[in-house]
A and B are shown apart, each in its own frame.
Chain A
Amino acid sequence: MTDTPLLKVKDISKFYGSRIGCRDVSFELWPGEVLAIVGESGSGKTTLLNCISTRLLPTTGSVEYHMRDETYRDLFRMNEAERRFLMRTDWGFVHQNPADGLRMTVSAGANVGERLMAIGNRHYGNIRNTAIDWLERVEIDADRIDDQPRAFSGGMRQRLQIARNLVTGPRLVFMDEPTGGLDVSVQARLLDLVRGLVNDLGLSAIIVTHDLAVARLLSHRMMVMKDGYVIEHGLTDRVLDDPREPYTQLLVSSILQV
């Protein structure tokens, strides 16, 4: 890890009218670090993620990103073209529902290749080889490259979505409940894969989840949210083993033991 944060989030608040989406959230994310945002439904996790990833405009606050040219840029002061370029090259966004992040009517290969074509790659053979390479890295057989995602299982779709996001070598990946809706064994496999990829590629990631096991496995640090506020923030093992806030204690103690 270096001594400059990749992302500086300052006082992000989002109001939906008089309702609070999230309130006064500040944190820094360091290169190679995985941050989990946990909390119950409606606690503002996804709102916060959408604000940070510029999918939603926050009511107040700023998000500064450490660009590849070593400067910090406020994401909300960039123009839209720059922001969209950043989103499809240096960032990834993995949706809970793969259908939101994939083009369901084009083949797996085109899904993976779309970002490459968007940044100007015009060689079919190269795009296809890169796509095959990435499908193998996310454990999808290369002979499925011409199948549409609708012919894939839920777990495969989620893995395809991850490949599609990682193909341009992003430095920061946002994940919104990446394992939601998958059965436990598929979840375990996906987590294993994500953990491996994050380690291999030195990715930073912000993962929103309500599943503390996911946070435990993937993240270095975690933030616990309740009613739009971050109520506890610390190293994952510390928060889970020694929760300080009553709500966090409740959350940790509600994990089902088999």
Chain B
Amino acid sequence: MTELATYNFAYLDEQTKRMIRRAILKAIAIPGYQVPFASREMPMPYGWGTGGVQLTAAIIGPQDVLKVIDQGADDTTNAVSIRAFFQKVANVAVTTRTEEATIIQTRHRIPETKLNANQVLVYQVPTPEPLRYLEPRETETRKMHALEEYGLMHVKLYEDIARNGRIATTYAYPVKVAGRYVMDPSPTPKFDNPKMHLSDALQLFGAGREKRIYAVPPYTEVVSLDFEDHPFEVQRFDKPCTLCGAEQVYLDEVILDDKGGRMFVCSDTDFCEDRRAHGHVGPMLAPNGPAADGLPGSKEAAE
């Protein structure tokens, strides 16, 4: 790799990494608190994961194995380009297998496979401030965090119920971390919120444009906000994954044709492939299953 000479290891210079690591340490010390940091220009546009990439670059070492997912998939543009970026600038091993990875950078999903204590989950965050849409002033939201004034968060959930009869927030569902800070878990579906609670893995959140880093240390309480008479619920799917037959996982809808044909498959591609490799089959791949274009009943498979 001769072109490595033109880059410092993992792209960022050592002073920048030091600055980011200090922010990470502070974030871990105060779970859920948004630590400001001097976000750098990265060779990709804002909104493509510049915060997550800076976190990964600051913590990655030559021995690490990196996995990058976007909406659960390893093969989408964002995931492929970030993975290629780190292969080039850090020459680290990359994988699509969740169990093998030591650092998993993610956009919008937490892997279905339970993470372990040797893994770090790095989230790409567009809007770190959970109170933002109701309170546009940064000075005011900081004060609200400092004084633990989180009534406004419930105003949002109240509005949801008043308009839709239930809490209709399905992603970026606000959580309270370690009984203190209310945090935006990035646009992950609320299906993944319970996985954050008492997780074995360290979870880091980076917002490049907004210049904020926050963290959930391992084994930290993460509680989704709710009302006593409208408790927190995750999305449910009444049909298993069409390809691997998995239940209790988050499914993506895939449109098959313009006649209303569609199927629901695991959003976590690695999880789905792994199950199929172990011989699990869903309705579409089953020997006597319905043909792909038919798929009767799949229309009401999702919530």
How many A-B pairs have beta carbons closer than 8 Å: the answer is 56
B228: Cβ under 8 A from any A Cβ = yes
Contacts A106-B159, A110-B158, A113-B158 given; does A84 touch B228 at CB 8 Å: no
Tell me if A146 and B158 are in contact (CB < 8 A): no
Q: Please report the total number of B residues contacting A with Cβ < 8 Å.
A: 19
In the assembly, what is the distance between CA of A245 and CA of B147, in Å?
A: 47
B138: Cβ under 8 A from any A Cβ = no
In the assembly, what is the distance between CA of A81 and CA of B145, in Å?
A: 11
The closest CB in chain A to the CB of B135 belongs to A103
Among B155, B163, B226, B229, which residue has its beta carbon within 8 angstroms of that of A117?
B155
In the assembly, what is the distance between CA of A113 and CA of B154, in Å?
A: 10
Chain B residues with Cβ under 8 A from A119's Cβ?
Answer: 151
Shortest distance from the beta carbon of B19 to any chain A beta carbon, whole Å: 30
Tell me if A106 and B155 are in contact (CB < 8 A): yes
In the assembly, what is the distance between CA of A122 and CA of B154, in Å?
A: 8
Shortest distance from the beta carbon of B155 to any chain A beta carbon, whole Å: 5
In the assembly, what is the distance between CA of A177 and CA of B30, in Å?
A: 44
Shortest distance from the beta carbon of A239 to any chain B beta carbon, whole Å: 39
A115: Cβ under 8 A from any B Cβ = yes
Contacts A110-B162, A123-B228, A123-B229 given; does A103 touch B155 at CB 8 Å: yes
A125: Cβ under 8 A from any B Cβ = yes
Chain A residues with Cβ under 8 A from B227's Cβ?
Answer: 122-124
The closest CB in chain A to the CB of B147 belongs to A81
Q: Mark A88-126, 1 if CB is under 8 A from B, else 0.
A: 000000000000000101110110011101110011110
B149: Cβ under 8 A from any A Cβ = yes
Contacts A80-B147, A118-B151 given; does A125 touch B229 at CB 8 Å: yes
B302: Cβ under 8 A from any A Cβ = no
Tell me if B155 and A146 are in contact (CB < 8 A): no
A6: Cβ under 8 A from any B Cβ = no
A223: Cβ under 8 A from any B Cβ = no
Chain A residues with Cβ under 8 A from B156's Cβ?
Answer: 106
Chain B residues with Cβ under 8 A from A118's Cβ?
Answer: 149, 151-152
A208: Cβ under 8 A from any B Cβ = no
Tell me if A114 and B149 are in contact (CB < 8 A): no
In the assembly, what is the distance between CA of A15 and CA of B151, in Å?
A: 35
Tell me if A124 and B161 are in contact (CB < 8 A): yes
Among A109, A115, A124, which residue has its beta carbon within 8 angstroms of that of B229?
A124
Tell me if B147 and A107 are in contact (CB < 8 A): no
Contacts A103-B134, A122-B227, A122-B228 given; does A117 touch B158 at CB 8 Å: yes
Shortest distance from the beta carbon of B232 to any chain A beta carbon, whole Å: 12
Shortest distance from the beta carbon of A85 to any chain B beta carbon, whole Å: 8
In the assembly, what is the distance between CA of A113 and CA of B155, in Å?
A: 8
Tell me if B228 and A114 are in contact (CB < 8 A): no
Among A105, A107, A114, which residue has its beta carbon within 8 angstroms of that of B151?
A114
A-facing residues in B65-107 (Cβ within 8 Å): none
A203: Cβ under 8 A from any B Cβ = no
Tell me if A146 and B134 are in contact (CB < 8 A): no
Tell me if B151 and A117 are in contact (CB < 8 A): yes
Chain B residues with Cβ under 8 A from A117's Cβ?
Answer: 151-152, 154-155, 158
Tell me if B163 and A115 are in contact (CB < 8 A): no
Chain B residues with Cβ under 8 A from A125's Cβ?
Answer: 229
Shortest distance from the beta carbon of A81 to any chain B beta carbon, whole Å: 5
Chain A residues with Cβ under 8 A from B151's Cβ?
Answer: 114-115, 117-119
B18: Cβ under 8 A from any A Cβ = no
Among A84, A105, A106, A109, which residue has its beta carbon within 8 angstroms of that of B147?
A84
Tell me if A114 and B152 are in contact (CB < 8 A): yes
In the assembly, what is the distance between CA of A190 and CA of B213, in Å?
A: 49
13 CB contacts below 8 A, A to B, read A103-B155, A105-B134, A107-B159, A107-B162, A107-B163, A113-B155, A114-B151, A117-B155, A118-B152, A122-B226, A124-B161, A125-B229, A128-B162
Which 6 pairs, one residue from A and one from B, show the smallest C-beta to C-beta distance? A118-B151, A117-B154, A124-B227, A117-B151, A123-B228, A81-B147
